[in-house]
Structure 1
């Protein structure tokens, strides 16, 4: 789970999901940023749906089945995202 770099308090899974798009600490209210290493890991994590495309074509899933599987996959990714998120006080470059 992510830890605020300003106040040092650990966020819960629920708090992280609530603030996933604005990343504002629920304890101290300070803006946090996703660290560069976390962005790289989450980028690799978000490539999982691209792996799904050839599997979909190979098995010949119907559009409805593919849509349901994609929605389930998105829920799984967003559910696991707080476990790979690392925070920083300032925006870090990728390199």
Structure 2
């Protein structure tokens, strides 16, 4: 679970999901940024659709099946996001 780099408080899973897009500490109110290592780990989740495309072509899933699978995978990614999120006080460049 992420820890605020300003106040040192650990966020709960629910707090992380609530502040997922703005990353503002629920304890001290300071803006936090996703660390580079966390962004790189989160980028692995982008590979999931790239894996699904050839599987869809090979197994010839219907559109409805692919939509259901996409919803399931998106739910899994959102549910795992708080576990891989690491915070930083400032926005860090990739390089």
- Pick the TM interval, shorter chain: over 0.9
d(CA) in 1 for partners of 2:52, 2:4: 34
d(CA) in 1 for partners of 2:83, 2:93: 21
Residue 81 of structure 1 corresponds to 81
Contact 1:46 1:77 in 2 (8 A): no
Matches within 5 A, 1:1-80: 1-80=1-80
d(CA) in 1 for partners of 2:28, 2:56: 45
For residues 40-81 of structure 1, what are the alpha-carbon distances to aligned partners after superposition, in whole Å with 9 as ceiling and x for unaligned? 110112221221111111111000000011011100000001
Greater Cα offset, 5-14 or 49-58: 49-58
Contact 1:13 1:82 in 2 (8 A): yes
d(CA) in 2 for partners of 1:8, 1:64: 45
Tell me the matched-pair count.
95
Could you list the structure 1 runs, at least 4 aligned residues long, displaced by more than 6 angstroms after superposition.
none
Which TM-score applies when normalising by structure 1?
Answer: 0.97
